[in-house]
Amino acid sequence: MIHVPSTAPFRLLVACTIAVVSTVSFAHPPSQAGGRHLADREPDQTLNAEEEAFVHTPRGFKYPGEPKTVASDDREAGTLRLRIFAGESEKLAACRVTIVGPDGNFYEPTENRLGPWSRQRTNSGETHGPSRYFGWYFYTTGECEVRVPAGTTRVEVWKGFEYRPVQNEVVVSAGETKDVRMKLAYSVPMDKFNYYSGDTHIHLNRRSDEEDALALDLMAAEDIRFGFLLCMNNPPSYSGIMSRQVWPQQQGLGPSSIRTHGRWGIASGQEYRTGTYGHICLLMHNRMVLEGVTTAADNWPPFDMIGKETRRLGGVSFHAHGGYSAEIYADYIRQSTDGVELLQMAHYRGIGLTGWYRILNCGFRFPGLAGSDFPYCRCLGDCRNYVYLDGKPDFSSWARAAAEGRSFFTTGPLVLLEVNGRRPGDVINLTAADSHKLNVRVRVRSEVAPFQRVDVVMGGKTVHSSSVPAEEALGRWHETEFDIDISEPTWIAARTFGISQTGRPDAEAHTNPVYVNLAGQHRFDTKDRDWLVRKLDGRIKVLRGRKFQEKEDVLKVFEAARQELMERSSTRPNSNK
């Protein structure tokens, strides 16, 4: 972990509807594909007391608060009766709440249906990003009572990335019960741009209708339109029986598992995990892969087969945790999987941005995604995707569009990229006679964490950067527009980020590319291909050093991928399907 400075922590909260903004200094991480990105570094998840103190220190206090309770017979305490609404609705709104008492400690209801998912109960003993203030929060369906010490108490309310956070300070006397009504502003409704939020990596049990109702309330609290709840196996073995899974999904899989409440929904999938090939998230398939089969998953089968079976079952597959730099180096070549979960815990994991850029530079369409991995993270949906859908949104179309790269992924900032009016996942086909000047337009806005820089990346290199003024870092659109000359096939994407006062990633977002083909050719870079060949050789060496019955069959998958990559040229089709 990076050492936390001794200066007072940067804090963001919003009083009523007025944003309070502070500026912090930051270091711009290198953004050339030939160098290592700061965000490429696999996060050190070891518990870091100083970083944890940073995220648990409320504004106005010098020290981190602790989760506390007030006894029901404490005559020196009072009670807050809280009711929270959102937008123009007069219906109670599920949300995430942090209550800071006059002593700087954190209080929550003693009785709460969503209480098991408060931060103190899901704290995994590890340190994760984003690096920003969270306090010791709890989830509520919009109405609760909280006992607090007498004095001035602050109520802080969040709901996903499209609502502006609010806070209210309330003076409570000993023995008093005070009604508190608060309203969140629905300030950036992304469905107006046809973008819909989703978290593809959530672990919650689905063993009953009551657990479904709890999951839907949590989706509403963090404003996650499409929540994918995954069972998982414990490596090194796998059993295709749901009752043997961790986080069992016993309400069906894929289309049969969909439940909705209002605009929020859940569907069940699975995380297939091995120690050899990595982890992979399987979505919208209609039954478990290898159903009824027990296997030594660290040996057999490889993800090449798992991804193909998932497609036969109507689903899509995404390498989890950046692919763990494992079988992913073969699967994107063989087009057997559909993308990679890059952004998690505010970091680009596994292959990192550098590896992803190199994959794209070999002409592969291999979309990036984000997934929170809740409850093994800072909070539900702290990394999520926004997928563009031109039509009525549903789980199947959302998952397909994610597999086509029609999205951006984020820890807070909302990013709209257009290249000649085309969006991420689109292809611009230019002939030799066409003008090679393209118009690039990027719009970024964040309600929950300040971003400090916006980069436009072309072919793995930053071609345009803009620093973001403090007054545009929260609650306002920051726009960048320019023309760029194209002399070769390429791809164009946008990235924005903000570094916290601790030096760790806080605000982070990246779009998938708009692909630009020229005279029938797509982007191809021999140096990037050769780098990826060396990565494949490293995995082949590891496999050759292991002893297991199916080794030769697995090696055939990797060696076939290596041969195809070596033979690849810029005239190959730009498709991964």
Residue 532 to residue 521: CA distance in whole angstroms: 20
Please compute the mean of the pLDDT values over residues 38-54 and round it to a whole number.
Answer: 80
Q: What is the mean pLDDT of the chain?
A: 91
- Token couple for 147: 């006992």
| Per-residue pLDDT tens over the stretch 419-457 | 999 999 999 999 988 789 999 999 999 999 999 999 999
Residue 346 pLDDT grade (very low, low, confident, very high; cuts 50, 70, 90): very high
pLDDT tens per residue, range 509-525? 999 999 999 999 999 99
Return the domain boundaries, the chain: 14-186, 190-410+527-577
- pLDDT tens track for 270-285: 999 999 999 999 999 9
Segment 86-116, tens digit of pLDDT: 988 889 999 999 999 999 999 999 999 999 9
Spatial separation of the C-alpha atoms in residues 236 and 315, rounded to whole Å:
24
Q: What is the per-residue pLDDT for 570?
A: 66
User: Which pTM does this prediction carry?
Assistant: 0.92
**Residue 471's pLDDT band (cuts 50, 70, 90):** confident
Res 51: pLDDT: 94
Residue 39 predicted with pLDDT over 80 = no
Residue 325 CA to residue 277 CA, distance in Å, equals 9
Euclidean distance between CA atoms 174 and 430, whole angstroms: 72
Structure tokens at 234: 């414990």
DSSP letter (8 states) at residue 42 = P
Q: In this predicted model, what pLDDT tens digit does every residue of 369-393 receive, in sequence order?
A: 999 999 999 999 999 999 999 989 9
Alpha helices per DSSP H over 479-550: 526-544
Q: Could you tell me the two tokens for 172?
A: 């409570």
Alpha-carbon Rg for the chain in angstroms: 24
Q: Which two tokens stand for residue 563?
A: 């041969």
- Listed residue (495, 453, 455) closest to 473, CA to CA: 453
Instruction: Check residue 569 and give its pLDDT.
Output: 77
User: Where residue 3 falls among pLDDT bands split at 50, 70, 90?
Assistant: very low
Whole-number Cα distances in Å, 226 to 22, 91, 201, 530: 33, 21, 11, 38
Q: Is the pLDDT of residue 2 over 80?
A: no
Has residue 572 got a pLDDT over 80? Answer: no
CA distances from 130 to 39, 253, 446, 494, 503 (A): 12, 31, 14, 20, 11
At residue 9 the predicted structure's pLDDT band, cuts being 50, 70 and 90, is very low
Tell me the CA distances in angstroms from 231 to 201, 267, 269, 287, 301, one per residue in order.
10, 11, 7, 12, 19
Q: How far apart are CA 24 and CA 361, in angstroms?
A: 35
Reported confidence tier of residue 132, pLDDT bands at 50, 70, 90 = very high
**14-186 sits in which CATH class?**
mainly beta
> Mean pLDDT lowest for which of 3-7, 72-76, 219-223?
3-7
What CATH superfamily classification does 190-410+527-577 receive?
Metal-dependent hydrolases (3.20.20.140)
Residue 13 banded pLDDT, cuts 50, 70, 90? very low
Token pair for residue 116? Answer: 């098991």
- Residue position matching structure tokens 């999987």: 337
How does pLDDT run across 198-218, given as a tens digit for each residue? 999 999 999 999 999 999 999
Distance CA 295, CA 474 (A): 50
